[in-house]
Amino acid sequence: WHAWMTSCQGVTGGEGGPSEWYRYYPIAQGNRQSPINIVSGQAAFNSSLNPLVLSYDQCTSVNISNNGHSVVVEFEDYDDKTVISGGPLSNSYRLKQFHFHWGNQHGEGSEHTVDGKSYPCELHLVHWNAKAYATFGEAAGKPDGLAVIGIFLDTGGQHPGINRLTDALYMVKFKGTQAQFDNFNPKCLLPSSLEFWTYPGSLTTPPLNESVIWIVLKESIKVSEKQMDKFRKTLLFSGEEEGERMQMVNNFRPPQPLNGRKVQASFK
């Protein structure tokens, strides 16, 4: 994340926002950028895709932080305690962190869209190919280096699993703050079905590396409007010392050109 990005980088089109990233990161106009609009009718069912397997039982979160662009929960990733495998992946990928993207009201917030529909929020579970590469940073520069699971959050009943997270947001209100946050297992944030779409893409924020195998779950999880409002009203783009307080909302990149990529579906 770079100082030149003003705190309103989350505002599409605003100075320093997604529409300007190409100036410093020409890859922003590359041919495998993310997110995308998923056209469900054009996704190709691939029966040879294996079921997605999340081995999150030894899961240990370590901290929660506000990096000025999202709220991030990090994990110990020095061994294969928390990995995913199967799906489109050729080996296991290790969980590094998860974070969210959301809007300031109901009709927007997710990065991926499905048949043009946006969700109020999208959760990203970020994993790296520790079988092939020595560090997350190295993997982030390789075409098969990262695997990110995207999960849509929609509004509905209260989600019991996310309460511990929304209750911790006050500790990381300001950019650059971090707090201890252990024993949170994101398995509680999964929908009942692990059916997914998958396609080759990129990081959705600078440096926008084209190193992500995207796995987007078809089924959303339901959280209450009150829980969504905790993200919108608690977190700030700005640091404690900054005069003006900018609410952290609309920290999503809009869909990017598909450029001939094929989206595969694990389901009919």
Binding site for ligand KBB (CB under 6 A): 124, 126, 148, 203-205, 212
The token duo for 154 is 């929609």
Three-class secondary structure of residue 61 per DSSP? strand
Choosing among ligand KBB, Zn ion, none, which partner's interface includes residue 162 (Cβ < 5 to 8 Å by kind)? Answer: none
Dist. CA 266–CA 104, nearest whole Å: 32
Closer residue to Zn ion (CB): 122 or 130: 122
DSSP code at position 190: -
Closer residue to ligand KBB (CB): 203 or 258: 203
Closer residue to Zn ion (CB): 124 or 230: 124
Closer residue to ligand KBB (CB): 30 or 224: 30
| Residue 124 is among the residues annotated as catalytic for this protein | no
Choosing among Zn ion, ligand KBB, none, which partner's interface includes residue 203 (Cβ < 5 to 8 Å by kind)? Answer: ligand KBB
Q: If you write DSSP's letter for every residue of 135-178 in order, what string do you get?
A: SHHHHTTSTTSEEEEEEEEEESS--GGGHHHHTTGGGG-STT-E
Minimum CB separation of residue 212 from Zn ion in Å reads: 10
Minimum CB separation of residue 126 from ligand KBB in Å reads: 4
Q: Among residues 69, 101, 127, 159, which one is catalytic?
A: 69
For residue 255, whether the previous peptide bond is cis, meaning omega lies within 30 degrees of 0, is no
Residues that bind Zn ion (CB under 5 A): 124
Q: If you write DSSP's letter for every residue of 74-129 in order, what string do you get?
A: EE--SSTTSEEEETT-SS-EEEEEEEEEE-SSTT---SSEETTB--SEEEEEEEE-
Minimum CB separation of residue 124 from ligand KBB in Å reads: 4
Choosing among Zn ion, ligand KBB, none, which partner's interface includes residue 248 (Cβ < 5 to 8 Å by kind)? Answer: none
Give the residue numbers annotated as catalytic, written as ranges.
Answer: 69
